[in-house]
Amino acid sequence: MAIAPFTGSAFSRRTFLAATAAGAGGLALTACTTSGSSNPNPPPFDKNAITSAEAARPHTGRTVDYTLNPQGADIDLGGITVRTLAYGDSVPGPLIRANVGDELAITVNNGLDHQTSVHWHGIALRNDMDGAMPASPNIESGQNFTYRFSVPHSGTYWAHPHVGLDTDYGLYLPIVVDDPREPVDYDAEWIVVLDDWTDGVGTSPQQILSDLQSGNGMGSMGGSGMGNMPGMGGMNHGSAETTLPATSGGPNSVESSALLGGDAGDVSYPYYLINGRIASAPTTFSAAPGQRVRIRIINAGADTAFRVALADHVMSVTHTDGFPVVPTEVDALLLGMGERYDVIVTVKDGVFPLVAAAEGKNAQARTLLRTGSGAAPDASFLPRELAGRVGTVESFTAAESVVLPRSDGTGVDLVADLGGDMMSYQWTINGRNYDQTEPLTVKEGDRARLTFTNMTMMWHPMHLHGHTFQVVKGDGGVGPRKDTVIVRPMESVAVDLIADNPGDWMLHCHNGYHQESGMMTRLGYIV
């Protein structure tokens, strides 16, 4: 499917910000704190509808209690100890696990010196427990709050703050919702959480944003002349043999990525982590040869897409963002920030690194699978699978059981045009940053087609709170059910959703720096 060429301002290769210790000084933050702000005129909706929607969810009558303690903590990343923000004394935070229909009761004791919240990423929960303003209030320093909500769908999820740049610290944790009715066709489970890391070893997130907003390396990133870009034109890159991009800037530099459509990101990090450990000091997962292992992969990074592969193994992808897909074999997977994939692997005998290459950044994180004797390759080893069949959103089709009902032609159209200007490092949706946003609106029961059109030269992982959507493939076919989707430069991605969860919901880029600089709006239910 043809895509109209970009005819706006010219783009020139910019020098990307390196988050190194050399720049760790503290300039004043100049960003508008978009994630803590709200439009003064939110659309009206029936708040009783939130209670009704909660009552309609499955309920087991079982309550699962957890306590989270966001606080300053000393964390060992693998021979490197950093002072950071964490849930207790570990990164990631503790696993939260429940069954479909259980009520989660999670008490958050805020030990930070500023407001916090916990957003339950990907869970279609009640609006007033979402953990994002204005739907639910932030928790003041020294105060506590208990989030209570039922979990309606099984899957792999995660949690993180929705306040300022706290998403680029150690405040994140995995969530697994099980369905006891689901046939268990695997022998072991491995949770893999990916992250990019700078706090305590490089430039602070606040300094990074300040430097980006000061114009420290730039090219024009807005424009017009997009023409018509229906569906997912040009996204046929998920099935071909793909090579790792060569970089010219040395270790941890930021260059380009064909999979991401150009520039790989804004920030080069000192370290990339899997389960809180650097590549030279990985964790180890043990299994027996021949076992079927379910790997739940979560990208908790702030600015980094990861290309993930398990050496000498093929992965069968079974779920995207919690929802089942037609099982599809890949050699590697591309995950943008906020995305999750579940895969099944029949493991061989030996020691095998699972490598998460920081896409376009000439660095990697890793962890080890051990099923027998032998030594692991060194930390710089890159499995050949990384250059094989890379699974992207276009590679997958939703399982028939989770395909949304076909439209009867009476749906509503929603538009999210993604824009921005690298010079000022301000990012917009429909020409407005969050402080001036005009929310997208739906009525309960609407079927909506939401079209993201990326008018910038950067890729954006777009996330909708409180809902899942059906990705529309470039040929109009059924894509996977997701809540976060990569939109490449100069491309358009269409998704369908059912407006079945009343409230006031965030829609934003899951690049923490883009979000904080304005690329966020709301989906509001109106009466």
* Mean pLDDT, residues 215-235: 35
Band of the pLDDT at 118, cuts 50, 70, 90?
very high
At which residue do the structure tokens 């005819």 appear?
Answer: 7
Look at residue 1 in the predicted model and tell me its pLDDT. 30
CA–CA gap between residue 181 and residue 58 (Å, rounded) = 13
Look at residue 46 in the predicted model and tell me its pLDDT. 74
Give just the sign of the alpha carbon dihedral 340, 262, 467, 524. Answer: positive
Band of the pLDDT at 347, cuts 50, 70, 90?
very high
Neighbours of 47 (CB within 10 A): 12
Look at residue 272 in the predicted model and tell me its pLDDT. 98
Confirm whether 36-43+57-180 and 197-214+235-397 share one CATH topology. yes
Is residue 220 pLDDT above 90, yes or no?
Answer: no
CATH homologous superfamily, domain 197-214+235-397: Cupredoxins -  blue copper proteins (2.60.40.420)
Q: Please state the domain extents for the chain.
A: 17-33+401-525, 36-43+57-180, 197-214+235-397
CA–CA gap between residue 181 and residue 162 (Å, rounded) = 33
CA–CA gap between residue 446 and residue 230 (Å, rounded) = 21
Look at residue 520 in the predicted model and tell me its pLDDT. 98
More confident residue, 257 or 423: 257
* Mean pLDDT, residues 312-333: 98
Look at residue 409 in the predicted model and tell me its pLDDT. 62
Look at residue 267 in the predicted model and tell me its pLDDT. 95
Band of the pLDDT at 288, cuts 50, 70, 90?
very high
Look at residue 54 in the predicted model and tell me its pLDDT. 96
Look at residue 421 in the predicted model and tell me its pLDDT. 78
Three-state SS for 491?
A: coil
pLDDT digits (tens, 9 = 90+) for 73-112: 999 999 999 999 999 999 999 999 999 999 999 999 999 9
Band of the pLDDT at 467, cuts 50, 70, 90?
very high
| Residue 337 contacts residue 356 (beta carbons within 8 Å) | no
Give just the sign of the alpha carbon dihedral 495, 498, 500, 502. Answer: positive
| Residue 256 contacts residue 263 (beta carbons within 8 Å) | yes
| Residue 89 contacts residue 73 (beta carbons within 8 Å) | yes
Give just the sign of the alpha carbon dihedral 51, 57, 62, 65. Answer: negative
Contacts of 252 (CB under 8 A, 6+ apart): 18, 268, 269, 270, 361, 362, 363
Look at residue 463 in the predicted model and tell me its pLDDT. 98
pLDDT digits (tens, 9 = 90+) for 169-219: 999 999 999 999 988 899 999 999 999 999 999 999 999 999 999 876 432
High-pLDDT (> 90) share of the chain, %? 79
Look at residue 304 in the predicted model and tell me its pLDDT. 98
Q: Highest mean pLDDT: which of 5-19, 136-150, 417-431?
A: 136-150
pLDDT digits (tens, 9 = 90+) for 376-402: 999 999 999 999 999 999 999 999 999
Band of the pLDDT at 149, cuts 50, 70, 90?
very high
Is residue 231 pLDDT above 80, yes or no?
Answer: no
CATH homologous superfamily, domain 17-33+401-525: Cupredoxins -  blue copper proteins (2.60.40.420)
* Mean pLDDT, residues 264-289: 97
The model scores a pTM over 0.75: yes
**What CA–CA distances, in Å, run from 380 to 161, 251, 271, 312?**
32, 11, 13, 16
Is residue 248 pLDDT above 90, yes or no?
Answer: no
Closest by CA position to 111, among listed 133, 132, 139: 139
CATH class of 36-43+57-180: mainly beta
* Mean pLDDT, residues 516-520: 97
Look at residue 20 in the predicted model and tell me its pLDDT. 44
Pick from 341-345, 475-479, 480-484: least confident: 475-479
At which residue do the structure tokens 């030269």 appear?
Answer: 457
Is residue 236 pLDDT above 50, yes or no?
Answer: no
Band of the pLDDT at 527, cuts 50, 70, 90?
confident
Q: Name the DSSP class of 246.
A: P
Report the amino acid identity of residue 225: G
Band of the pLDDT at 39, cuts 50, 70, 90?
very low
Look at residue 106 in the predicted model and tell me its pLDDT. 98
Mean pLDDT across the chain, nearest whole number? 87
Look at residue 241 in the predicted model and tell me its pLDDT. 38
CA–CA gap between residue 445 and residue 36 (Å, rounded) = 29
